[in-house]
Amino acid sequence: MPDASLEWVSAGVAAPDESRLVGLELRGRRLVVCRAGGRLYALEDRCPHAFQPLSEGALRGYALECPFHGGSLDVRDGRPLSLPIRRPAATFAVRDAGENLEIGLPAE
């Protein structure tokens, strides 16, 4: 059953290749989208520790490393994997809709 609290919004970008990060802005939110283990993931494009863009970091497996202090997050659920990151990053549902990605944002 579809989640009525989500609204699927076209991101205007194609799905990234494996281990590639794509930063985008959608309805005033900065997001980073990636593909890891063959699946798509979307997170807030802001390190919970340094408040810097995660899209400028590196993806190693499921670990997204912040380029500023080297802390990392798990892209599957946003949880911190290494210090100095202590808080999780917000995650969003994402799906491939052909030529564009769609991101599940809270319904307005």
Calpha distance 75→52 (Å, rounded): 16
Helices and strands counted in the chain (H then E) = 0, 10
What does the pLDDT look like over 46-59, one tens digit per residue?
Answer: 999 989 999 999 99
- 33 neighbors 41 (Cβ within 8 angstroms): yes
- Residue 21 in this model has a pLDDT that exceeds 50: yes
What does the pLDDT look like over 89-105, one tens digit per residue?
Answer: 999 999 999 899 999 99
- Domain edges within the chain: 10-104
- Residue 1 in this model has a pLDDT that exceeds 50: no
Kindly indicate whether the domain formed by 10-104 is annotated with CATH number 2.40.50.140.
no
- 56 neighbors 47 (Cβ within 8 angstroms): no
- DSSP secondary structure letter of residue 8: E
Task: Please tell me the predicted confidence (pLDDT) of residue 107.
Answer: 86
- 73 neighbors 87 (Cβ within 8 angstroms): no
